[in-house]
């Protein structure tokens, strides 16, 4: 996994309405670094992802940092050659513009080191896990079928077998009961179950 952080100077965050503007600016950076469009777009694209860090104020999203990552070695080579001035996009029809020319690009260490066998994860939003072969959602974090469902989905996405053992931390959940959240579906609505 190779990941970079694109950080704007303090007070120079950028506004945007939809993520596709940020996505298109990043596509510009990929192609400027030498990636082919088919490597980053479409059904045969190599895997990569991004996340904007910022806030929402007065009906506008504000971004101060973009995190871009890929597990693909070829895309990682392109990512190492990104130039901040290529991360821009203008849409005259909607008067939208995003420009990360002032951003500082920093490579981040891989969060998983070799020979690591455990990873602690804190979810910041409810987790929706559908029961296999059903239209219902799991309602208990300690249900062993949740690990089966998550491994099945991850295996399909990764194109290889994934066999994670998922264990909720009972001490943490007892101390923070509001974090023991799964999404349950009621007829015609979704509610968080604690």
For the chain, domains (ranges, CATH) are 2-108 (3.30.70), 122-194 (no CATH)
Beta bridge partners of 6: 66, 105
Lowest mean pLDDT among 51-55, 71-75, 105-109, 126-130: 126-130
Residue 119: the pLDDT is 76
Distance in angstroms (rounded) separating the CA atoms of residues 47 and 29 = 16
Distance (Å) of CA 189 to CA 136, 180, 181, 185: 12, 20, 16, 6
Q: What is the pLDDT confidence band of residue 154, given thresholds at 50, 70 and 90?
A: confident
> Taking 80 as the threshold, does the pLDDT of residue 14 lie above it?
yes
How far out from the chain centre does Cα 18 lie? 15
Mean per-residue pLDDT over the chain, rounded: 83
**What is the reported pLDDT for 194?**
39
pLDDT > 90? residue 185: no
pTM exceeding the 0.85 threshold for the entire prediction: no
Gyration radius (Cα) of the chain, Å: 20
The predicted pLDDT at position 160 comes to 87
User: Would you put residue 133 in left (φ > 0), alpha (ψ -120 to 50) or beta?
Assistant: left
140 pLDDT higher than 50: yes
């Amino acid at each position: 996994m190779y990941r970079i952080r694109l950080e704007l100077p303090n007070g120079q965050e950028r506004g945007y309405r939809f993520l596709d503007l940020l996505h298109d600016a990043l596509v510009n950076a990929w192609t400027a670094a030498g990636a082919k469009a088919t490597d980053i777009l479409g059904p045969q694209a190599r895997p990569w992802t991004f996340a904007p860090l910022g806030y929402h104020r007065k009906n506008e999203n504000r971004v101060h940092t973009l995190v871009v990552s890929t597990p693909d070695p070829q895309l990682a080579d392109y990512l190492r050659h990104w130039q901040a001035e290529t991360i821009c996009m203008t849409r005259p029809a909607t008067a939208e513009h995003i420009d990360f020319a002032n951003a500082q690009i920093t490579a981040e260490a891989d969060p998983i080191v070799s020979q690591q066998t455990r990873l602690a994860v804190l979810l910041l939003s409810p987790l929706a896990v559908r029961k296999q072969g059903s239209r219902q959602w799991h309602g208990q974090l300690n249900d062993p079928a949740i690990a089966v469902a998550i491994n099945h989905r991850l295996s399909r996405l990764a194109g290889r077998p994934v066999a994670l053992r998922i264990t909720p931390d009972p001490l943490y959940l007892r101390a923070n009961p509001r974090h023991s959240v799964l999404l349950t579906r009621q007829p015609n609505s979704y509610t968080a179950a604690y």
